[in-house]
Each structure stands twice: as structure tokens, then as C-alpha cells.
Amino acid sequence: MKSSSTSEKSWVHYYFKSTSGIVGAFLVLIMMTISLCAAFGWMPHDPLIQNPMDSLHKPSSVYWFGTDQFGRDIFSRAMDGMRRSMTVSIVSVSIAGIAGVSLGIIGGFFGSWLDSLVVRLSDVIFAFPAILLALAIVNSLGNSWIDTAIAIAIVYTPIFIRVARGPVLIIKELDYVKSVRVLGFSSVRILRSHVLPNVLAPILVQIALSMSWAILTESGLSFLGLGTQPPDSSLGLMVSEAQPMAAFAWWTLAAPSLFITLVVVGLNLVGDGLRDSLDPSRRQS
């Protein structure tokens, strides 16, 4: 429920009391910073420039995470890959979140045929393993990052529909919502000031978790060769390129794996922290 009185501590206060929340926020912040630096071109080396003389260098003070078979700096490539994953993740979860929450709230609140259509549609999408559906859609759309983002958005929209629709079904039957309806409040006003604030908590948690799945799906797709194409870098592609070399050049595999793992761990911990701090019954004082 929304905190309106000033004496009540906000959820942010409780969030930073949980260890997982702090660690998660820290990891996500680092990865966001890395992505931003890559976006501005602040990387130790150019991720695309090949230096055949420096091929397969061990990690050193010049090349922090070593170089690949073309002598490209792995740290810079991983930074650029992180930027790509992060962009796809943010864009796809924004699309899925907005579409899913609107459909879920509208369906749940107004009911009737619209609701059954929404539920049917999400059942259909739910009936696929996520990666397979994304694979089919990316295959149809194309290999640019926006195609990947759209594919992932379609896959994860039903989850937001479910998360938003469930609470709406309960809230619209509550006495106080019924009474403001009797008072003649418009549906838009009821939705905005009574329904939306109450579904916000589970949606925030879902955003954090979906972002981590989106990163896993994006890197999985590019690992399979769909999505980002060489010579551009992406974390999944880097792992797939490292496969034949990992035996004698472990660092080619280490950097992209570490980046994916850290960001997914971070987002999951943020999700845990949000769940604990937004739910009053789970708060630790």
C-alpha cells in the first residue's frame, strides 16, 4: 500500500536494510556504469580494432582481461557486449512492462470478453519455452538489437499481464473501491489513484527479475548465432567464439561469463530486496 503519512518509513529505507538489496544494487550499479562508459566510448581499447601482433595475450596491465585470437581487447569487448545486453534488456522489459501491465489492468478491471481474450493470448504465449519463442521471432524479424528486444518483449509480456491482473481482480472487489465507484468516480480515476499504486509493488519486483531473464535470453540467442553478428561484440557471441580456444586461453571465456553472471546475480538480489522491502509482512525492522 502506498505510504502517505510522513511518520511511516518508505520502502527505500527498508530496502537498504537488506543485505541482498545492497549487494544487488551495487552489482547492478557497476554493470550500468560499465554500459554507460561503453555507450560514451570510454573503454580502455577500441572493441573492434584488431592487433594481430597481440593475439591471445594473457591478462596484463595493458589488456586487463587479455585479448582474443584477433588481438582485440576482451575487457573492452565485454564492456560493449554488456551495453548491448543492457540496452536490449531495458528496452524489452519496458515494452513488455507497459504492454503487459496495461492489458492486465484493463482486462482485470473491465472483465468480459476483453479479459478472456487477454488471458487466452497470454496462455498461448506461455505455452512455449521462452527461448524457443524468442528464437522463432528473432528468426522472422532479423538480427538487429531492436528485433531481439521486440522478440523478448513479446515473450515476457504475459508475465506482466498475470502480475498486474491478479491484484486488480482482488482490489476491484474491495469495499473502498466499490464505494468510490458509487460516489461516481470515473474508471480512469479509480485505476490511476486506487488500482495502480497497489499493483506497483509486485510489478517492480517483476521488472528486476524480467531484466535478468532478458539478459539471459539475449545472450542465449546471440550464443546460438541469432541477434548480434560479428564483428560486433555481445556476451553470448563472445562465449560461443571462446569455445574452441578456452582450453588454452581460459580468459577468452572468463570475462563474458563473469559479466553475465554478475549482472544476473545482481538483478536477482535487487528483486529479492524489493520483494522484502515492499511487502510489509516480510520487512525486517
Number of residues binding to other proteins, judged by CB under 8 A: 44
Site string for other proteins, 77-116 (x = CB under 8 A): ----------------------------------------
For residues 1-16, one letter each, b for 16 or more C-beta atoms within 10 angstroms of the residue's C-beta and e for the rest, the string is eeeeeeeeeebeebbe
The cell 539471459 sits on which residue?
216
| Residue of 98, 132, 146, 170 interacting with other proteins (CB under 8 A) | 132
What is the closest distance, in whole angstroms, from the C-beta atom of residue 24 to other proteins in the complex? 10
Q: Are the CB atoms for 122 and 158 separated by under 8 Å?
A: yes
Stretch that binds other proteins, among 5-13, 30-38, 56-64, 239-247 (CB under 8 A): 239-247
Cα separations in angstroms, 147 against 60, 61, 134 = 37, 37, 10
Which grid cell sits at 96? Answer: 513488455
Q: Is 245 exposed, middle or buried (0-12, 13-18, 19+ CB in 10 A)?
A: middle
Amino acid code (one letter) for 226: L
- Which range in 43-51, 74-82, 107-115, 263-271 contacts other proteins by CB under 8 A? 263-271
Does 56 interact with other proteins (rule: CB under 8 A)? no
Asked if 150 interacts with other proteins (CB under 8 A), we say: no
* Secondary structure class of 190 (helix, strand, coil): helix
Residue 31 Cβ, how far from other proteins at the closest point, in Å? 12
CB of 127 to other proteins, least distance (A): 5
**Interface with other proteins (CB under 8 A), residue from 4, 5, 7, 120:** 120
Site string (182-221) toward other proteins, x via CB under 8 A: ------------------------------x---x--xx-
Nearer Cβ to other proteins, position 124 or 170? 124
The Cα–Cα gap between 176 and 180 comes to: 6
C-alpha cell at position 71: 588481438
Compute and round to an integer the Cα radius of gyration of the chain.
Answer: 22
Residues in 30-49 that interact with other proteins by CB under 8 A:
none
